[in-house]
Structure 1
Amino acid sequence: MSFLCATRMRGGYGGADILQGCDITVEKGEIAVIVGPNGAGKSTAMKAVFGMMSLREGSVVFDGEDITKLSPQDRVAKGMGFVPQTNNIFGTMSVEENLEMGGFLRRDDISVTIEQIYDLFPILREKRAQAAGELSGGQRQQVAVGRALMTQPKLLLLDEPTAGVSPIVMDELFDRIIEVARSGVSILMVEQNARQALEIADKGYVLVQGGNAYTDTGAALLANPEVRRTFLGG
């Protein structure tokens, strides 16, 4: 069984189901990317994996354990980290205070992990005492990812990590995401910048109307003429 195995997920927010039986799997150390048109259920699928939306059908198995009924807090304790698209930092707190908040579940010395995050995102070391809300959009995203990494997750969930940032910053964030995956952390990412995300993806999912339209390696999806024409702009 895969490290993360979310199968036949069906559910929504009270009305009609948004997810229509979609499947998402991620292996250890793998970068998996969910792409697709607006309204396809990409973020909903990620929230279902993290327990922010109850499933009407289906299951989520993580590291060999069925966690379908667990709360998001319990999933963090099991080894999931989640970075939402918005409202993902404490703006009035300093960069370092944000990272310390990320380590609230830890009972060991968190200073080593903070230094690892500063090595990953050197600009945060420079701005460690600055209020996170005063940073640029890309730097705030680095704080958000860093705070999630403070929990020492086995699986990191990223919802639109490059939304609203410049192409240069997007490339830098993707480079750092590759570094995180190389350290052994699995990545599940929702991205609107589909072409660029698939370039770094080991596995890609194209969702349409809450279901799996295409599932393949990132390279194979980029080479698929139908995927290119329909979802990647040719």
Structure 2
Amino acid sequence: MSFLDASEMTGGYGAADILHGCTLKVEKGQIAVIVGPNGAGKSTAMKAVFGMLRLRGGRVTLDGEDITALSPQERVKKGMGFVPQVNNVFPTMSVEENLEMGAFIRADDFRDTMDQVYELFPILREKRHQNAGELSGGQRQQVAVGRALMTKPKLLMLDEPTAGVSPIVMDELFDRIIEVARTGISILMVEQNARQALEIADQGYVLVQGANKYTDTGAALMADPEVRRTFLGG
């Protein structure tokens, strides 16, 4: 069984299903990327894994434990960290206060983790007393990822982490994501910049209309002529 095993997920909002038997798996320390056209159900699949969407079918296990019935808060305690695409920082709080908010579930001393976040994102140490709302888009994304890391997650989920940032900032964020995975944390990421994301992915999922269209390693998907033509612009 994979470290994260979200199998045959079916569900949606109201009476309509958006996910139709979608399956996502991530091994320990792997980077798994979900790509696909707009409206494919990518973010919905991520929310289903995190418990923000009640499933009508399928199940989710983390590290061998069935967590299908758990709330998002309970999943955080089990080792999930989630960074939404928008509204992912407290704008009127300082960078350091944002990071401290990420440690709300911890009873131990979290200063070592905060130091690790500052080593990963040096600009945050420099701006730690500045309000998060005053930062650039890329810096706010670093705050959001850093806050999720403060929970000491086993699985970090990122919904469009490079949305609205420059290509240079995107490359830097991807480099940091690779560094996080090298520490043994599993990564599940939805990303519009499909080509760049698949380049760093151990595992890739192409979703179409809430179902798995292609599943393979990132390299294999990049090399697949049909995937390249249909989803990567040739």
1:88 shift after superposition:
0.3
Helix, strand or coil for the counterpart of 2:60?
strand
1: CA distance, partners of 2:224 / 2:114: 41
1:208 match? 208
Q: Is 2:52 the partner of 1:52?
A: yes
> Corresponding residue for 2:38?
38
> Which amino acid in structure 1 is aligned with residue 84 of structure 2?
P
Distance between the aligned counterparts of 1:5 and 1:138, measured in 2? 30
Matches within 5 A, 1:222-233: 222-233=222-233
- Unpaired runs of 5+ residues, structure 1, are none
| TM-score normalized by the length of structure 1 | 1.00
* Equivalent-residue separation in structure 1 for 2:217 and 2:8 (angstroms): 20
Task: Find the counterpart in structure 1 of residue 152 from structure 2.
Answer: 152
Q: How far is the alpha carbon of 1:21 from its aligned partner?
A: 0.3
Q: Count matched residues.
A: 234
State the distance in 2 between where 1:40 and 1:198 align.
Answer: 17
1:100 partnered with 2:97: no
Offset of residue 191 of structure 1: 0.2
1:15 Cα offset (Å): 2.9
- TM-score scaled by structure 2? 1.00
Cα distance in 2 for residues equivalent to 1:229 and 1:69:
39
Post-superposition CA distance 1:36-60 (Å, at most 9, x none): 0000000000000000000000000
1:188 paired with 2:212, answer no
Give the partner amino acid of 2:216. Answer: D
The one-letter code sitting in structure 2 at the alignment partner of 1:199 is E
CA distance in 1, matches of 2:61, 2:68: 7
Distance 2:219 2:15 in 1: 36
Q: Distance in 2 between matches of 1:116 and 1:40?
A: 35
RMSD: 0.4
Paired with 1:120 and 1:15, the residues of 2 have a C-alpha distance of 43
After superposition, the C-alpha distances for 1:163-216 in whole angstroms (9 at most, x for unaligned) are: 000000000000000000000000000000000000000000000000000000
Distance 2:15 2:173 in 1: 36
Report SS of the residue matched to 1:93: coil
Q: Please state how far the C-alpha of 1:16 moved relative to its aligned partner.
A: 1.4
Secondary structure of the residue that 2:17 maps to in structure 1? coil
Distance 1:106 1:194 in 2: 35
Query: What residue identity is the alignment partner of 1:140?
Result: R
Say which SS state the counterpart of residue 206 (structure 1) adopts: strand
- Worse-superposed segment, 78-87 or 15-24: 15-24
Residues in 2 aligned to 1:47 and 1:126: alpha-carbon distance in whole angstroms? 33
Q: Cα distance, 1:222 vs. partner?
A: 0.3
* Aligned counterpart, 2:63: 63
After superposing on structure 2, the runs of 4+ consecutive aligned residues of structure 1 that deviate more than 2 Å are none
CA distance in structure 1 between the partners assigned to 2:15 and 2:89 by the alignment: 31
CA distance in 2: counterparts of 1:108 and 1:7, whole angstroms:
34
Letter in 2 for 1:212: N
SS in 1 for 2:129: coil
Take 2:15 and 2:120, find their aligned partners in 1: how far apart are those partners? 42
Q: Which residue of 2 aligns with 1:87?
A: 87
Structure 2 partner of 1:26: 26
- What is the Cα deviation at residue 87 of structure 1? 0.5
Structure 2 Cα separation of the partners of residues 126 and 61 of structure 1 = 39
Q: Secondary structure at the match of 2:205?
A: strand
Separation of aligned partners in 2, 1:174 and 1:107? 31
Structure 2 residue runs without a partner (length 5+) = none
